[in-house]
Structure 1
Amino acid sequence: MKKIFGHIYLFDFSSPFLGRSVADREFITALIRFGSFDEYHFFFESETILKDFQRHFADTIAFYAPNKVKTFPLYKLEEQLATTTYTVFHSSDPLIEKLIYLRSNFTIKEPFAITGYTHTLSSRNLSPGFLLTLLQQPQSCDAIICSSKCGQKVMENIFDTINNSFSQAFHQDIDYKGQLPHIPLGITTESYNKVSKDEARKKLGFPAENQIILSIARLTPSSKMDYYPILDVFSRILHEYPTARLVLAGGLSEEKENYLKELQVYAQQKGITDEIIFCPNFEDSYKHLLYSAADIFISPSDNMQETFGITIIEALASGLPVVCSDWDGYKELVTDGVTGYRVPTIMQKSYDAIDNLSLFSLNPSFIIAQYTAVNQDIMTERLLSLMSNDRLLTEMAENAKRSIVCYDWSQLIPQYESLWSSLKTEALLQYTPSSFSLHFSFYKLFSHYPTYHLEDTTVLSITDAGENILANRQELSINLIIKNFLDFHLLGSLLSNLKEKPLTNADLKARHRNYTQDLVESHILWLIKYGAVAYYEKDFRNNFDI
């Protein structure tokens, strides 16, 4: 019997900097190259999307599967389902309710498996789709494949939240009965390390002798990470290594150009403009050169939008030690002290006002990211330890390259095919046709992301930067969006209280009972994020007079 893969191709791969765009394009390329299906059927809503598909995949198809790939207009889908025996229909996102609907309501020649894949899981727009997915009753022959175990946990939290809400309202459970297997994204490892460091720097016009720290990511705090703390850390690095260079490369949309200008102004204020190389919207062909030219890769992501971290495995494949935040799927990609370092993160346990206000067209993952801190001191220490020890740098670089074998697409596609085969068997044995806006707490869904939560026992102290801010010797750099969420009187009061002596979080909140406790904690974390306040876990309490 033929094995046939089905996919409704709706995605636009025009952006080389959108993580999902890159991941989906690489997945389809790898599937065609390494897969063992007899046929691959792709359905298109428009001619424009078909041409986009052909532009990206024509060469791959011609070389690896010239007679296996078939394309159809979307209106042919019903006919194909009635006449073709499909193994699986795969969606490039986790919302599989539409595929379940068409399987249940169209005439099908034979039951087939349905799978989706997780990318960003922090969008409020997903909640109605997940409710519909549960209402469509996924079965044991269906799966939402998770790129990371952290993402897998978020999916479990999402379905538990929906089921609990539905059960309370309607006295009926709508449990998710499908599967949530974990299969990571991949890369083609042979594409990396093809250019020497010297050659790459020469082509890019980078200095030959300087130590280069590289970041490749969307240049936006709203869906990736806040770059102000990176500049703060790099400023400290330059005190020890004044010839170091920081390369910030990535996609930049027109509406985010002001953010880049803000970063450039901030760099100028700190006197580090000449040591930073900005590479917005670089040519796709430059990516491998950037990796080859660098010594260390950094990615202190603080945003729930991140689920996996494709640039992390690209950097590892390029032989770069990675210094990243201890956050999301990064936890699974970087072995701390072996292939790089994971820097501790901290966020508050909950903030009901943000969760509730996010119903009104806010970007909750960005707002929460502004109250999530990556430890600047430890990040600085980890970078300096690599920059000062060539032997350690070389050892981690070799470890990085060895660690990445399991993320090669040639190893991953067989895992997908094994899953699809077992799901197809389940569909043949068990399938029966299937006979609402919800509200999530992001803090609950992503509670396992940070290294620490801000506890009542957490000890807080003012830093030199905080004292400078309090004395008006240093200005705060504030994103225009978050500015509306900050109480400047509260910020000043928090710093003033901590200037007297270190306090526990509980004691500091007790001094500000005229504010909600959530508000106080969010402002404490914002001050931690920007280096004005330092935090210590309860084991350090004896070191302070509190």
Structure 2
Amino acid sequence: MSESKRIWATLDPFFEPGPVLGRKVANTKFLRALLAVDPCDEYRFFLGDAGQADGLRAHVRKIAPDMLDAGRVRVLDRRELPRLLATEPVHCMHLSDCITSQPHAAALRNRYSRDIFPITGTIHSLSYSTFGTQFLRHLWAGTTRRDAIVCTSEPGREAVQRFFDWLRQGYGLDPEHFPAPQLARIPLAVDADELCPTRCEARSEAGSQGGPVRLLVFGRISHHSKMDLLPLLRALHRLVLAGMDPATVELVLAGWVDDGDDFLPTLRDLAANVGIPLTIAARPSEAEKVALFRSADIFISIADNPQETFGITLLEAGAFGLPVVASDYDGYRDIVVQDETGLLVPTIGPDSTPDADLLAPLTYDNQYHLLLAQRTVVEIPPLAAALKTLIESPDTRRAMGAAARQRVLDHYTWAGVIKQYAALWDGLWREPADPAPLRTMHHPLAMPYGTLFGHYPTRTLDPATLVRAGATGEAFYRGRDFPMLYSGLAGTIDPDAARKLVFLARKSVDTSTLIRKLVEAVPGMDQDSATVHILWSLKHDILERI
């Protein structure tokens, strides 16, 4: 780490408006915590969309206005990356999702940056049918030991490793020539101070005083993309049939609901058949969400869908001091300590899925996720037993809830998570990385446009091509003509360099010599950029071929 200023960079805004999804919430919270903990000197967001840039600036204005005013948070055009990477050292680049741009960001870094700085990206949902291609991009010779995928859970880390093993086997790729990024494990987190358990005594003593025990499910209410809630109602029906008075419990389902979802009436009918009061709180506000958690006694999440990777709602429940009944599935088993912070319900799944494997690339994601979820079993008898244990014992609920909150405070606060990221970025700098063989290495899945389409024009620019400054070039050099420099080319074309071209081409000169002289005349200019300037100057009549 030779840089004097620690610059944190990204290609993502970490702020997305729209429907409330776990990924969006996690990214927004990460950004706020990053700027609050403030492990770097400057934060640069290289965005590709003006609307994103405006939205991010407005968001940062709310959460860290002083940093924005001081220029410590900068929102830049992504096309500026080559120039800025070549001129200013970067401490690290972190992406909000590892499957979008991470390998191509590494290729850009390898080409332009003096130092091979760490590049990291976080996993979210891993089960979309296109992700095989996305992970294949990570397997290339330009991946270094300073590149890492941040896995939020141990099952998620194993899934990513299985991706790489499967791809290498299928394409015959040996690990030595097709390395993968390192796999680090850093969890998501919650704001434990904001999500505090200030439930009233009457609520916390529910059940022991004869009031109903409130069971809360919070998340996407979707049987095809989150969890099938029918096993929960079947488990409650078992308890009623075994003698539990249905009036002793009430069920609250809350979270994102799709417009026109025809599954909600089915849930209402099943709850009515069981005799258990059911409340559905669709798309609650943040204040309503807090009230729902504070009024609950038991939190339930029986995820059965491979879209789930971590389980941030379980952390939220723990922060509110709630015991959890959860499926023993994916990242849930990282969060819940059995018999201490909650109860895990055994699950059964398939060891092969040939029909879904073939259909997934040809169907919508909700269709193949439903196929997969419906063959993933959350065992109903153990689910009923877990619910019975907590419904009948206020002392157990209280003890598990207190332990759950303490676990969140110890392991899942955003301040603690940001410190883990800072330690990761520093640690990756200690990994070996030789920039020399990486400089001209082209990513095999980045289209080489010049090679693919070089036959479209009449000719390509040959080193022996003779050019000279024309009348327009002379006028431009003397300030009497002003060629059009389109928006978006500011980081590609330097008008001062173009003026030097006119001076260097006062007499006819071959492009090879002209490139060499321009590289010598303009600090930071390389042969590729010099070639671009010559072609641009020919296009705008500043130079002409002879």
- Shift in CA distance, 66/325, structure 1 to aligned 2, threshold 3 Å: farther
Report if aligned partners of 2:125, 2:308 keep a CA contact under 8 Å in 1.
yes
Alpha-carbon separation, structure 1, partners of 2:184 and 2:214: 38
- Which residue of 2 is the match for residue 80 of structure 1? 84
- Residue from 296, 309, 315 that aligns with 2:298: 296
Which region of structure 1 is more displaced relative to structure 2, 326-335 or 362-371?
A: 362-371
SS at match of 1:145: strand
Alpha-carbon separation, structure 1, partners of 2:199 and 2:383: 27
Alpha-carbon separation, structure 1, partners of 2:322 and 2:69: 37
Alpha-carbon separation, structure 1, partners of 2:259 and 2:85: 42
Which region of structure 1 is more displaced relative to structure 2, 370-379 or 39-48?
A: 39-48
Alpha-carbon separation, structure 2, partners of 1:55 and 1:210: 44
- Which residue of 1 is the match for residue 138 of structure 2? 133
Write the deviation string for residues 297-338 of structure 1: whole angstroms up to 9, x where unpaired. Answer: 000000011110000111011100000000000011001111
Report if aligned partners of 2:309, 2:331 keep a CA contact under 8 Å in 1.
yes
Alpha-carbon separation, structure 2, partners of 1:114 and 1:261: 47
Alpha-carbon separation, structure 2, partners of 1:413 and 1:357: 40
- Which residue of 1 is the match for residue 60 of structure 2? 57
Q: What letter is aligned with 1:410?
A: A
Which region of structure 1 is more displaced relative to structure 2, 287-296 or 13-22?
A: 13-22
- Shift in CA distance, 171/342, structure 1 to aligned 2, threshold 3 Å: closer
Write the deviation string for residues 406-451 of structure 1: whole angstroms up to 9, x where unpaired. Answer: 11112121110011012234366667424599xxxxxxxxxxxxxx
- Shift in CA distance, 330/229, structure 1 to aligned 2, threshold 3 Å: same
Structure exhibiting the larger radius of gyration computed from Cα positions: 2
SS at match of 1:181: strand
- Residue from 7, 23, 27 that aligns with 2:26: 23
- Which residue of 1 is the match for residue 250 of structure 2? 245
- Shift in CA distance, 399/194, structure 1 to aligned 2, threshold 3 Å: closer
Alpha-carbon separation, structure 2, partners of 1:83 and 1:150: 40
Report if aligned partners of 1:148, 1:182 keep a CA contact under 8 Å in 2.
yes
- Residue from 181, 192, 213 that aligns with 1:178: 181
Which region of structure 1 is more displaced relative to structure 2, 392-401 or 420-429?
A: 420-429
- Shift in CA distance, 64/374, structure 1 to aligned 2, threshold 3 Å: farther
- Shift in CA distance, 171/234, structure 1 to aligned 2, threshold 3 Å: closer
- Which residue of 2 is the match for residue 403 of structure 1? 407
Q: Does 2:427 correspond to 1:422? A: yes
Q: Does 2:109 correspond to 1:103? A: yes
Alpha-carbon distance, 1:134 to partner = 0.9
Structure 2 residue runs of 5 or longer lacking an equivalent are 446-546
Alpha-carbon separation, structure 1, partners of 2:107 and 2:210: 58
Report if aligned partners of 1:111, 1:427 keep a CA contact under 8 Å in 2.
no
Write the deviation string for residues 376-401 of structure 1: whole angstroms up to 9, x where unpaired. Answer: 11111111111111211111111111
Alpha-carbon separation, structure 2, partners of 1:85 and 1:172: 30
Alpha-carbon separation, structure 1, partners of 2:174 and 2:57: 49
- Which residue of 2 is the match for residue 284 of structure 1? 286
Alpha-carbon distance, 1:38 to partner = 0.3
Alpha-carbon distance, 1:262 to partner = 3.1
Report if aligned partners of 1:325, 1:343 keep a CA contact under 8 Å in 2.
yes
- Which residue of 1 is the match for residue 311 of structure 2? 309
- Which residue of 2 is the match for residue 327 of structure 1? 329
Q: What letter is aligned with 2:28?
A: R
Alpha-carbon separation, structure 2, partners of 1:221 and 1:354: 17
Q: Does 2:372 correspond to 1:368? A: yes
- Which residue of 2 is the match for residue 345 of structure 1? 347
- Shift in CA distance, 285/47, structure 1 to aligned 2, threshold 3 Å: farther
Write the deviation string for residues 75-105 of structure 1: whole angstroms up to 9, x where unpaired. Answer: 3223322222111111111222221222234
Which region of structure 1 is more displaced relative to structure 2, 21-30 or 222-231?
A: 222-231
Q: TM-score, length-normalised on structure 1?
A: 0.73
Q: TM-score, length-normalised on structure 2?
A: 0.73
- Shift in CA distance, 313/66, structure 1 to aligned 2, threshold 3 Å: farther
Q: Does 2:162 correspond to 1:157? A: yes
Q: What letter is aligned with 2:188?
A: L
Report if aligned partners of 2:203, 2:297 keep a CA contact under 8 Å in 1.
no
Alpha-carbon distance, 1:64 to partner = 6.8
Alpha-carbon distance, 1:269 to partner = 4.5
- Shift in CA distance, 372/116, structure 1 to aligned 2, threshold 3 Å: same
Alpha-carbon distance, 1:280 to partner = 1.0
- Which residue of 2 is the match for residue 204 of structure 1? none
- Residue from 9, 30, 36 that aligns with 1:6: 9
Alpha-carbon distance, 1:245 to partner = 0.8
Alpha-carbon separation, structure 1, partners of 2:275 and 2:340: 34
Alpha-carbon distance, 1:6 to partner = 0.4
- Shift in CA distance, 293/57, structure 1 to aligned 2, threshold 3 Å: farther
- Shift in CA distance, 31/302, structure 1 to aligned 2, threshold 3 Å: same
Report if aligned partners of 2:60, 2:68 keep a CA contact under 8 Å in 1.
no
Root-mean-square deviation (CA, aligned residues, Å) is: 2.6
- Which residue of 1 is the match for residue 384 of structure 2? 380
Alpha-carbon separation, structure 2, partners of 1:432 and 1:211: 64
SS at match of 1:415: helix
Residues 154-303 of structure 1 aligned to structure 2 (within 5 Å): 154-167=159-172, 174-193=177-196, 195-197=198-200, 209-238=211-240, 240-243=244-247, 244-254=249-259, 257-272=261-276, 275-303=277-305
Alpha-carbon distance, 1:208 to partner = 11
Write the deviation string for residues 198-247 of structure 1: whole angstroms up to 9, x where unpaired. Answer: 7999xxxxx99421000111011221111222222233445514221111
Alpha-carbon distance, 1:295 to partner = 0.3
Q: Does 2:45 correspond to 1:42? A: yes
Alpha-carbon separation, structure 1, partners of 2:162 and 2:245: 45
Structure 1 residue runs of 5 or longer lacking an equivalent are 202-206, 438-546
SS at match of 1:219: coil
- Shift in CA distance, 241/316, structure 1 to aligned 2, threshold 3 Å: farther
- Shift in CA distance, 380/200, structure 1 to aligned 2, threshold 3 Å: closer
